[in-house]
């Protein structure tokens, strides 16, 4: 990790947070109608500043902010103002509160602020520090839509197709498998065979139900099946991957690199989907990306395209950008201006802006 960045002087002198809440224009379900961003602002003893954020939909924002305001703030004062120098020590310090979940979500706010601070100190963007490899990436339309009627689902797919998307993702995992089959059949009829169709079960099946479902869904030629079983069930991932030709995608609910390594080394995954906030920020995200590439697997970061696309353009090989309808930070009113991530239909480009280029409201 230290090989990526030049270590600079200065120590952390202050940490403060503020909570932003944004209603989702298209709720992700009856119980998921908003997202929270906890903005983290760091200052150093030599007068530099950096801004990062933690994020969670609906649940846990107050707990994340409390961990930042108390345990993390106290620990960070006097520590080196550099992500490579503090991430592992902070993770060990917080481990009594858990190795992932709220712990790593809160850590992400600090890690991003330190990356932003470091890039700003050099007058550069975070992508330029890491080395930009892609002028543009391809996005896929991603829907949190299991609660949609079939007609609403098809309307969403039509919007993606009219925008130029050639890859889309829809939810499966209904209590009645026949409902899933009918909806996927209707979507596949609308898209035709040339559009990549990803299916996401959000951990709703056990192994037996997953085997029944993937066997029945295989005729629709899914590009991948995402989170077919519980994120912590390695045995079922391995067995399902052994018994189906459909690629298995997972990772949005895997919270640290050790768990990613376990899943990868066991042979339970084809498409690796880390969420940069849930894993603890850019520092561990890059380690997970290195692990993914070294094992010849596909990387497809989960959500938060205004951040994850900035990292994806620096990674080797093809990388998908997940675009959930109406969830850009600009659309949600979380930032005061445009972000560095520019959309042109399904194509995603990153402009060169100092630091992370995110000006929070």
Q: Is the dihedral of CA 221, 158, 169, 165 positive or negative?
A: positive
206: closest CA among 226, 245, 233? 233
H helices of the chain, in order, are 61-67, 73-76, 83-94, 102-121, 126-130, 150-163, 177-191, 207-217, 234-243, 257-266, 282-294, 305-312, 329-332
Question: From residue 136, how far is each of 4, 131, 141, 314, 355 by CA, in Å?
Answer: 22, 14, 16, 11, 19
Tokens of 116: 């932003």
Paired with 56 in beta bridges are 36
Annotated catalytic, 302?
A: yes
Report whether 328 contacts 306 (CB < 8 A).
yes
The radius of gyration of the chain's CA atoms, rounded to the nearest angstrom, is 20
CB 22 within 8 A of CB 34: yes
Do residues 111 and 121 lie in contact, with contact meaning Cβ atoms separated by under 8 Å? no
The closest alpha carbon to 91, from 151, 165, 20, 1, belongs to 1
Kindly name the residue from 171, 237, 255, 256 that is annotated as catalytic. 171
User: Which residue out of 82, 237, 256, 302 is catalytically annotated?
Assistant: 302
User: Could you give the strand order of the β-sheet that contains 49-57, starting from the edge strand earlier in sequence?
Assistant: 12-23, 34-44, 49-57
**Contact between 333 and 324 (Cβ < 8 Å):** no
Active site residues: 171, 302
């Amino acid at each position: 990790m230290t090989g990526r960045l030049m270590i600079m002087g200065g120590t952390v002198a202050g940490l403060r947070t503020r909570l932003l809440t944004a209603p989702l224009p298209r709720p992700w379900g009856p119980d998921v109608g908003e997202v929270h961003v906890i903005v983290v602002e760091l200052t150093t003893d030599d007068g530099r500043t950096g801004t990062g954020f933690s994020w969670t939909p609906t649940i846990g924002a107050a707990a994340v902010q409390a961990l930042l305001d108390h345990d993390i703030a106290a620990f960070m004062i006097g520590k080196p103002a550099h992500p490579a120098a503090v991430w592992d020590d902070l993770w060990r310090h917080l481990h009594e509160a858990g190795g992932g979940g709220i712990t790593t979500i809160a850590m992400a706010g600090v890690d991003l602020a330190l990356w932003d601070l470091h890039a700003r100190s050099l007058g550069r963007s975070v992508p330029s520090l890491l080395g930009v490899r892609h002028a543009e990436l391809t996005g896929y339309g991603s829907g949190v839509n299991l609660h949609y009627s079939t007609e609403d689902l098809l309307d969403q797919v039509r919007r993606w197709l009219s925008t130029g998307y050639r890859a889309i993702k829809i939810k499966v995992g209904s209590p009645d498998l026949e409902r899933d089959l009918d909806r996927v059949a209707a979507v596949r009829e609308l898209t035709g065979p040339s559009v990549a169709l990803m299916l996401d079960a959000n951990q709703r099946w056990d192994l037996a139900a997953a085997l029944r479902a993937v066997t029945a869904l295989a005729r629709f030629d899914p590009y991948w099946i995402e989170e077919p079983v519980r994120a912590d069930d390695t045995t079922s991932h391995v067995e399902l991957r052994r018994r189906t030709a459909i690629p298995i995608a997972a990772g949005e609910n895997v919270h640290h690199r050790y768990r990613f390594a376990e899943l990868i080394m066991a042979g339970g995954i084809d498409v690796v989907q880390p969420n940069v906030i849930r894993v603890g920020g850019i520092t561990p995200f890059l380690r997970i990306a290195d692990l993914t590439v070294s094992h010849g697997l596909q990387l497809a970061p989960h959500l938060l395209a205004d951040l994850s696309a900035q990292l994806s353009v620096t990674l080797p090989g093809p990388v998908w950008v997940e675009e959930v309808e109406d969830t850009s930070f600009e659309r949600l009113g979380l930032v005061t201006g445009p972000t560095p991530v520019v959309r042109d239909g399904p194509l995603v480009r990153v402009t060169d802006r100092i630091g992370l280029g995110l000006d929070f409201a």
